[in-house]
Copies of this chain bind each other. A is one copy, B any other.
Amino acid sequence: MNQRSRLVAIDWGTSSLRGALIDMADGRVLEEQSHARGILTVPPGGFREVFDDLFGAWMRENGAPCLISGMAGSRQGWVEAPYCPCPAGLAEVRAKVREIEPGPIAIVPGLSDEHSGVPDVMRGEEVQIFGAMALSGLQDGLFVLPGTHNKWARVKDGRVAGFRTYMTGEFYAILSQHSILARTIDTSAAFDEAAFLEGVSRAENGEGLLHNAFGARTLSLFERMAAGELASYLSGLLIGEELRSQSVRANGEVVLIGSPNLTQRYALALRTLGTPSRTLGSEATWAGLHALSSSSD
């Protein structure tokens, strides 16, 4: 049937919106589009209109169903798709997919976890993890998704057993833009591997981020580090701090999912700990939406 031969897959995040037309038979991406139409740019009640404008043609031409992941399923999104608690695999997530009428459009729920009374959440990353499992064939392991709010997810028997969020990306942004470090840091400088690794290694001293971050100020004050190097050093301090609170060393390979400029930093930092990693990019999102759609048949 034509209806089943295509999937309109959409990743609708806070600040961006990406779509792919996918061949259901083999998961191949036939067409892709990307727009600066994150949910923050959509007025209340305006989601259907944006969707029809951008994806109406794909829907009509292919008679295809549509599956949407990301913040479009949050309280501020199109319709809220309540979190699916961990442990959660394809079956648990599928059972909580929220249909939108008139369809066939559905929104993937995020995942929730809880640690000693404090909740944790993700929205969109769960699809990337499912995609990474499909692409890599791994059913167990540690999956890391760097970003503004990084996710470290433990996968067991093909399900997300649990996860933790780290605000590493956001700390980098606010420290380099709003703290005293902003005066001397040049975040537009090219990545400096040596300065980055110096930061990673510095974080290992156990003195904590609150102290080590001040070192990025004094190294500049004493003219021991240039403005361009400082950005990479701060990035290393933060990623090093994040790794320090993990017990990754003993856990074998890590699967990194995300944009190359971030995943290469994590791969580098993990290598200094002797931890191998493999990397997947945006293809994981499409593979995940495809996996969620396929077996629901």
Contact = CB atoms under 8 A, between A and B. Distances in A.
User: Which interface residue of A120, A166, A175, A244 has the most chain B CB atoms within 10 A?
Assistant: A166
Contacts of A241: 208-210
A164 interface: yes
Contact of A221 (B119, B168, B214): B119
A118 B174 contact: no
Interface string A211-248: 10111001101101000000000000010011011000
A207 B218 CA distance: 27
Contact of A174 (B116, B178, B207): B178
A180 B118 CA distance: 17
15 contacts: A120-B214, A120-B218, A121-B221, A149-B180, A164-B211, A166-B208, A167-B214, A168-B210, A174-B175, A208-B245, A209-B241, A210-B238, A210-B242, A210-B245, A211-B245
A236 to B, nearest CB: 13
A166 B118 contact: no
Interface residues of A, number: 42
Contacts of A222: 119
Interface in A90-121: 115-121
A264 to B, nearest CB: 20
Interface in A182-227: 202, 205-211, 213-215, 218-219, 221-222, 224
Interface in A18-68: none
Contacts of A219: 118-119
User: Which interface residue of A117, A167, A219 has the most chain B CB atoms within 10 A?
Assistant: A167
A170 interface: yes
A245 B164 contact: no
A211 B170 contact: no
Contacts of A207: 115, 164, 245
Contacts of A206: 245
A295 interface: no
Contact of A177 (B178, B180, B218): B178
B214 A166 contact: yes
B174 A179 contact: yes
B174 A242 contact: no
A165 interface: yes
A212 B222 CA distance: 32
A16 to B, nearest CB: 17
A171 B210 contact: yes
Contacts of A213: 167, 171
A211 B175 contact: no
User: Which interface residue of A166, A171, A206, A208 has the most chain B CB atoms within 10 A?
Assistant: A208
A118 B242 contact: no
A218 B165 CA distance: 10
Given A149-B214, A208-B209, 4 more contacts: A120-B218, A167-B179, A208-B242, A209-B210
